[in-house]
Amino acid sequence: MAEIRDDSALDSPAFEVRFIGESKGKGLFAVKPFKAGDVIFEERPLVCCQFAWNAAYGYLACDFCMRPLEGAEENVRRLTGKKDIVLPYPHCCPTNRNSHTQCPSCGVWYCSSTCQEQAWNQYHRTLCLQSHSHHPNHPLEQLNGAWKHMHYPPETTSVMLLARMIATVQQAEDPANALHFFMQFCHRTVNEEQEIAHKLLGEQFKGQMQVLQELMVKALYSDSVQQWLSPDGFQSLMALVGTNGQGVGTSPFSEWVKKVSELELAADEKQQLDSFIDKLYEDLNEEVGTFLNNEGSALYALQSVCNHSCDPNATPTFPHSNFQLAMCAVRDIAPGDEILISYLDECALERSRHSRQKLLRQNYLFICHCPKCETQAEDADVTSEDECEEEEGEE
């Protein structure tokens, strides 16, 4: 199962965790210099889960590590709806179907027997539905169904990530220690100093939270996790994944593109390949827009210590087409510098200070005072026409 460790194990010769203050808590600081493009660290998540609607729409990923289970050609045919697409250089397809395996009891798929075993040992022994298709009324199925009806794409987390955290604690050799470790990531559900609450805890979600909490109790109650399954404890758990969850995305087509781009080809062949790939991306954008990847959410020990900046010096990447995160420097970082990432995506970072602050308050319970925000502090609190339409749709 996932290794449970204390914060002292997060330090290394390259970086260290420091306590900054009551308002910001901890931060990750460089001990040695990093150049732009350097990998600062890599880590596996404590727990990971594919988004419910992503899986329902046929995005096939390993139920443990989220490695794609589709071949690249199969993937683009499904996403574009064009069944006659043939990808050249098939040897660059990253998918190895020979290693795929299923849970013999419930039928969920894994990319390898190793992932199947690790999932079973960490949480799946508790969550396995045993003939999944024949138990639509199982509390876990009801829980997932209720979540899907409450939260439509684009999703930012999954209630099943919470279920996997609970099951991880229940299956741990020392449940109390495992629970204590996860609790270190718990943020307050309300930032009382700044009088802001997480968006999932608003009045409009009270009834939904009660339904989800009751279904989780019905499905997974045990003495070892009872503090998480009270109404207040469940809110804290939801805030934990809401404020610390890191999005994960994998794509067999993107991996194929990466591999063919590294081939040594003649100039005309390279040009022809580039044109072919550009056209495929146009077709994909027309059909599925930004929903290209297998998408999910995960909780990471190191990544969750990194604080936000609207002008970050590092970014999380997924170079192995699974849940393994690599934190990469986007510009030079000197010893003593704090390693800062953006909690917002690239599109949101380009929006006005007013819009960025709104997203950060709703999702992460803080007001950003990074240099970019301070520079724009005198800007009018207005949004673009597109941003206004989006915000009206959220209300």
Token representation of residue 217: 């109790």
What is the mean predicted confidence (pLDDT) over 53-66?
A: 96
How far is C-alpha 260 from the chain's CA centre? 27
DSSP state of 31: S
| Per-residue model confidence (pLDDT) at position 202 | 58
DSSP state of 121: I
Which of 134, 110, 131 minimizes the C-alpha distance to 122? 110
How far is C-alpha 35 from the chain's CA centre? 26
| Per-residue model confidence (pLDDT) at position 10 | 63
Q: How far apart are CA 389 and CA 210, in angstroms?
A: 30
Q: Which of 11-20, 25-34, 45-54 is predicted least confidently?
A: 11-20
Instruction: Identify the top-confidence range among 58-67, 183-192, 231-240.
Output: 58-67
In this predicted structure, the answer to whether residue 384 has a pLDDT above a threshold of 50 is yes
Distances (CA, A) of 120 to 103, 191, 222: 9, 37, 19
Q: How far apart are CA 378 and CA 173, in angstroms?
A: 54
pLDDT in tens, 22-37: 667 789 999 999 999 9
Going by pLDDT thresholds of 50, 70 and 90, the confidence category of residue 265 is very high
Task: Identify which has the larger pLDDT, 72 or 376.
Answer: 72
The residues, ordered by sequence, that sit 6+ positions from 383 with a Cβ below 8 Å of its Cβ are 351, 352, 354, 355, 391
What is the mean predicted confidence (pLDDT) over 177-201?
A: 65
pLDDT in tens, 192-238: 455 555 555 556 567 888 899 999 999 999 999 999 999 888 988 88
Answer whether 243's CB lies under 8 Å from 361's CB: no
